[in-house]
Amino acid sequence: MKKKVGVVFGGRSVEHEVSVITGLQIIENIDKSKYDVIPIYINKDGKWLTGDSLLDFKNFKENKLNDLKEIVVIPKSNDNKIYTHPEKIKLFGKKILDSIDVIIPAVHGTNGEDGTLQGLFELMNIPYVGGGVLASSVGMDKVVMKSVFKSYDLPVVDYIWFFRKRWNENKENVIKEVEEKLGYPVFVKPANLGSSIGITKAKDREKLEEAIEVAIRYDRKIIVEKSVENPREINCAVLGYDDNLKTSLCEEPLGWKELLSYEDKYVRSNTKGAKGERRVIPADILDNIKEQIEELAKQAFMAIDCRGVARIDFLVQEDKVYINEINTMPGSISYYLWEPMGISFKELINELLEIAFVTYQDKQKNMYSYDVDLFKKIDLANNSAKI
C-alpha cells in the first residue's frame, strides 16, 4: 500500500515563490509507484490550502487556483489527518479530508525553514524530511549558526551583530564598532533570511548606513561580516543523518562578482552564460581544497545536528576556506549536485523519505514519561513545594 506524502510549500516569507518551485519539483519527481502526493500550499496570508490545481505550475502563473479548500492540521500527537477548516463548514464543524504518513516541508525562509513548521510536526509526532527544530532554527539564524561553528573551530569570517533597536538608538556606536573591529568593505545581512534578500556590500561609512537601513526592514537582528575579497564561491551538499553522511559534488556558480543576487540564484537558474554555463559541476578546484570542503561540510552538518540534505556554501580565497552558511532546505533540494553522481531526483527524494522514517523510528525509542509520585510529595497549600 502506497504511503501518503504531504508536500508543504509556499509560506509567509519573501522566499514564497522559490518555495513553490521547490515544492512542485518535488511533487513532479517523487516516486509515484511508492507514494501518493497531497499538495499543501500555504499562501501569503498564511492560509493552508489543498487542491488538484496546485499540481500544475501553469495555474500559479495564470492565477487559476480555483478549486482550493482551506484546511487545518492539529498539533496533537499521532493525529496525521487533514481537516477542512471549521469556518468553511457551517453545520458540522471540521471534516476529515485525508491523512498523511510523512511530510516533506519545502518552505524556504521565515515561518518554514526556521524550525516553526518542524515544531508543529514534532507535536503531531509525524515523520518529516529534513532538519529538526534545532538544526532548522540554528541554520536560519546566521549569528547563532556562526557562533556554533566557531565553537567547533570551524572557519568563519569575522563578524559583529546587533539588534535593530540598538541601531535606531545609537547609530554612531554601531558604526564605530564595525569600523574598529572589521573595517571596510563589509557585507550587511538580515540574520534570519535567505536567497540574498536584504544583503548589501558596503565599502564606506555612507554605504554602511544605507545597507543597514535596508537590512533592518527585513529583520530585527543584523549581522555585519568582514568581506573576503575576490573569493570563489564553492558549494557542497551533505546527505544523511547522525554521522552516516555523504557529500555531493562541489559546484562553483559563475557570472557573479561580489554577491549572488536573488535573480542570479533563481531567475537566471535556467539560463546560460556567455559560454553556455551558469555553474561548473564539479568545481575546478585542487584536490586538497575539495577534500577540505567535503570534510568541513560534514562537520558543519553535524555541528547543528542536521539530517536529510543540506547545502553548505563556502568562500575560497587562494588556500583559505571559510564556511559562509548552511542551507537546511536548499532550493530544489540541491538535486543538481547529486544527479552527476548518478543519484536521480527521484532517488534523492526516496532517500530523504527513508531517512525521515528511520530517524522517526529512532525518536520513538525515547522515553516521554517518568513515573514518580511527585504530586503526593508536594503540598502547595502549605507552600512546601521545593523542586
87 is in an annotated binding site: no
Phi, psi for 203 (deg, rounded to 5):
-110, -5
Active site residues: 15, 195, 334
229 is in an annotated binding site: yes
Q: Of 48, 43, 56, which Cα lies nearest the Cα of 11?
A: 43
Q: Show Cβ contacts of residue 366 under 8 Å, excluding neighbours closer than 6 positions.
A: none
189 is in an annotated binding site: yes
187 is in an annotated binding site: yes
142 is in an annotated binding site: yes
88 is in an annotated binding site: no
231 is in an annotated binding site: yes
DSSP letter at 231? P
b/e burial code for range 293-307 (CB count within 10 A of at least 16 → b) = bbebbbbbbbbbbbb
327 is in an annotated binding site: yes
C-alpha cell of residue 270? 535556467
**Which uninterrupted H or E stretch holds 235?**
strand 232-241
226 is in an annotated binding site: yes
**Which uninterrupted H or E stretch holds 116?**
helix 116-124
227 is in an annotated binding site: yes
339 is in an annotated binding site: no
Residue 267's Cβ-count burial label (10 Å; 0-12, 13-18, 19+) is exposed
> By three-state DSSP, how is residue 207 classified?
helix
State CA 25 to chain mean position distance: 16
Q: Of 49, 53, 82, 77, which Cα lies nearest the Cα of 67?
A: 53
62 is in an annotated binding site: no
* Residues that constitute the known binding site for ATP: 142, 187-189, 195-196, 225-233, 324-325
* Residues that constitute the known binding site: 142, 187-189, 195-196, 225-233, 313, 324-325, 327
* Residues that constitute the known binding site for Mg(2+): 313, 325, 327
